[in-house]
Amino acid sequence: AKGSIHNFGCAVDLTIADENGKPLDMGTIFDFFGVSAEPRREAEMLKSGKLSRQQVENRKLLRRVMLKAGFTSIQTEWWHFNALSRAKAKAKYGFIE
């Protein structure tokens, strides 16, 4: 009913690919909505062996790049980044259905 920040054109879902276009291993597939996809649980998933150190480092690289570009991350999806808060997006742009 209230949509997401995507509906205001202010969010992106993405990953990083290598020089051959192959996506880096982030530990889960894109749009996987389980515990192991959550950045807030990475230390726990690393400790339990459900994520590897390389997978966590790949996610950290993605976050560093996106944060440097001015986006913010969320704690439940490693692939999701916002350009604006929901309130600012709603005030500035129209809802896209």
Please state the pTM of the whole predicted model.
Answer: 0.91
What confidence tens digit (pLDDT) does each residue in 22-34 have? 999 999 999 999 9
Q: Share the mean pLDDT of the chain.
A: 94
78 Cβ contact partners less than 8 Å away, ≥ 6 residues apart: 26, 27, 28, 37, 38, 39, 59, 62, 63
Q: Between the CA atoms of 53, 56, 68 and 8, what dihedral angle is there, to the nearest 10 degrees?
A: 170
Rg (CA), the chain: 15
Predicted local confidence at residue 22, as pLDDT: 97
